[in-house]
Amino acid sequence: MKSLEGKTAVITGCLQGIGRAAMDMFARNGANVFACSLKRTEEFENHIEELKNECGVEIIPVYFDMMDDESIKSAVKEIQKAKIPIDALVNIAGTDKDALFQMVKMDDLRSTYQVNVFAQILFSQYIVKLMLRHGKGGSVIFTSSISGLEGRAGQLAYASSKAAIVAAAKTMAAELGTSKIRVNTIAPGFIDTEMYKDVPKETIENKIKRTALKRMGQPEEIASVLMFLASERSSHITGQVIRIDGGKGV
């Protein structure tokens, strides 16, 4: 039996990177997926159709803007109308606006927190309500970063927002445990996604040198941990932060 057979997951950030890898892996392991994205593209829609045919599961695209609370609310109404019990929420979508501390613009700080913290908490509130209605518990997963655990020069907005979501997830875990809803966070390191496509090769090589495995991680490696946390194989794990960083600092 596939590890997510019969389950339904809501996954954000599905257009590319870790979100796309998670959508693919969840579907191939038997999960129905509400595939959330900021924008609709022909390539994305075609990929969803191919994945549905390949895996024999339901994949429903849901489009909304995390900068807009009303857009988030409308997306949840769309999910609710499907009347499919939600078993897992995987929060992956995020934004990154780098600047040194003294150069950080308050508008950039606010927009980073809106996407990486406020929108994710609001969306999670709505989805957890749907989980509570069917009364079978569930799994909520947030995506932080090693930057959120350690801090990093030039990433005040990003790192502090990712630290905030760790604290929020731990608080949610403490509150929702009696309802059989587990809440965990992953903290990826240097992953081979679009985020690093414009980073100079020398910078990437220097980052890799500081890891034990001496390579970047792949989106599929992150998706594997997300799948574990969404499945019953992690049924006694909640309130945790799991680093997926290739042994940075080891």
Residues designated as active site? 158
Q: Which two tokens stand for residue 46?
A: 């075609």
Q: Please tell me the distance from the alpha carbon of residue 145 to that of residue 166, in angstroms, as a whole number.
A: 9
CA count, 13 A, side-chain hemisphere, 47: 15
Q: Is 31 helix (H, G, I), strand (E, B) or coil?
A: coil
Sheet holding 32-37, edge to edge: 59-63, 32-37, 8-11, 88-91, 138-143, 181-188, 241-244
Q: What are phi and psi of 174, to 5 degrees?
A: -65, -35
Rg (CA), the chain: 17
